Structure 1
Amino acid sequence: MKVTATELPEVLVIEPKVFGDERGFFMESFNLKAFEEATGCRRTFVQDNHSRSRRGVLRGLHYQLEQPQGKLVRVTKGRVFDVAVDLRRSSPRFGQWVGVELSDENHRQMWVPEGFGHGFIVLSEQADFLYKATDYYHPASERAVRFDDPEINVQWPDVGELSLSDKDCAAPLLAQAEVFK
């Protein structure tokens, strides 16, 4: 696998080896030993999640203050623009973001460590988004930062009309949000 650090060095793009021919392809989507050796991240994944969304759906920017989740994310159908935001107040990169296109064609994955907010927007007609999480979903500590916060200034691709949950529309700006120390 090929691992590339992003502008936020803790956030990694992972490209597994894909073996393809006229019949299709094969890839090992996850191997704990290979993941740890290639990334230096020693994590235990305890939960797998799968969401399906249509074009224009924007989910995020989500995180959990207690039981923070590291996420290894990928797309098995369609295309998304995936975003991680550094929400560690003690970090020199606090409030900075990075975005990567993930698709069923490029097979890229993104490692979003604990302490980062995460979100994505669907670019294709439909997308299936899968992620492994390092801790269990904990609704009481779930938080979000507003997707269009001008302080963060994520440059979301233009997909026309956006579709957001009521919770994401009501998320606070970074200046008012509870974040990591």
Structure 2
Amino acid sequence: MHIEPLGIDGAYLVKPKIFPDDRGLFLETFSQPAFTEAIGHPMTVAQVNCSSSRRGTVRGLHAVALPGQARYMTCQRGALIDIVVDTRIGSPTYGEHVAVELSADNRHALYLAEGLSHGFSPLADEATAVYLCSSTYSPGGAIQVHPLDPALDLPWPTGHELVLSDKDKAAPTLAEAEKQGLLPTYAECVRLYEDLRAGHNAERERVA
């Protein structure tokens, strides 16, 4: 399994090793040891979500207020584009994005740390996303940014009418969300990441 950082701190692309044979194939979708070595701490899995979407659907941009929710995204059917947006105020890449293709063919996964927002949209007639979450759903902590914010200029698929939920249609732009005090700061997020790594290192020393 190869885990490589993307252009935004806290976002990683995971490329598992695939073992095909005449029966089909086998791969590790998630490996805690490999994840921990790359990120510096293990991922707590509190909830696993499954989302099926038809072409034209845009889900996002979503995040969770700190202590936040890290996500480990995979596509089990079809293909989708997943777009990570840095919505951490004060980050050197604030307002920037990275986009990756996840599919049932490439079997790639995307990890995004707490504080980052993301959204996804099918690249096929239908796509099924399955993703691990570090915390359970908390409606009071949900952060939404409008996925069609012109200032973000995100590369959503073209050629089909985009379908958004009512909540996503009503979401503020990034600038509005910042003005309303909805977004975490980069400094807060970095402290959280450091605390997670420190906790892991302390536990490792305790059992050594």
Count of aligned residue pairs for this structure pair: 181
1:110-141: CA deviations, max 9, x gaps? 00110101100111111110110111111011
Matched, 1:91 2:106: no
> Which range is displaced more, 138-147 or 42-51?
42-51
Matched, 1:149 2:149: yes
- 1:169 aligns with 169
- 1:11 aligns with 11
1:39-60: CA deviations, max 9, x gaps? 3343312111101111111100
Distance (whole Å) between structure 2 residues aligned to residue 151 and residue 170 of structure 1: 16
Is the CA contact 1:64–1:142 (under 8 Å) kept in the aligned structure 2? yes
Identity, in percent, stands at 39
1:180 to 161, 180, 184: 184
Is the CA contact 1:53–1:127 (under 8 Å) kept in the aligned structure 2? yes
Is the CA contact 1:88–1:94 (under 8 Å) kept in the aligned structure 2? yes
> Which range is displaced more, 27-36 or 100-109?
27-36
The one-letter code of the counterpart of 1:144 is: Q
1:55-101: CA deviations, max 9, x gaps? 11110000111441100000000100001111110211111111000
> Which range is displaced more, 33-42 or 67-76?
33-42
Distance (whole Å) between structure 2 residues aligned to residue 159 and residue 107 of structure 1: 25
- 2:196 aligns with none
Aligned alpha-carbon RMSD (Å):
1.2
Q: Secondary structure at the match of 1:35?
A: helix
Structure 1 residue 16 displacement after superposition: 0.8
- Greater Rg over alpha carbons, structure: 2
Higher helix proportion? 2
Q: Secondary structure at the match of 1:132?
A: strand
Is the CA contact 1:67–1:136 (under 8 Å) kept in the aligned structure 2? no
Is the CA contact 2:3–2:35 (under 8 Å) kept in the aligned structure 1? no
> Which range is displaced more, 17-26 or 104-113?
17-26
Distance (whole Å) between structure 2 residues aligned to residue 120 and residue 146 of structure 1: 13
- 2:129 aligns with 129
Higher strand proportion? 1
The one-letter code of the counterpart of 2:47 is: Q
The runs of 5 or more residues in structure 1 that have no matched partner are none
The one-letter code of the counterpart of 2:35 is: F
> Which range is displaced more, 27-36 or 163-172?
27-36
The one-letter code of the counterpart of 1:10 is: G
Distance (whole Å) between structure 2 residues aligned to residue 142 and residue 9 of structure 1: 21
Structure 1 residue 22 displacement after superposition: 2.7
Give the TM-score taking structure 2 as reference length.
0.83
- 1:58 aligns with 58
- 1:100 aligns with 100
Give the TM-score taking structure 1 as reference length.
0.95
Structure 1 residue 157 displacement after superposition: 2.2
- 1:36 aligns with 36
Distance (whole Å) between structure 2 residues aligned to residue 102 and residue 142 of structure 1: 24
Distance (whole Å) between structure 1 residues aligned to residue 38 and residue 88 of structure 2: 24
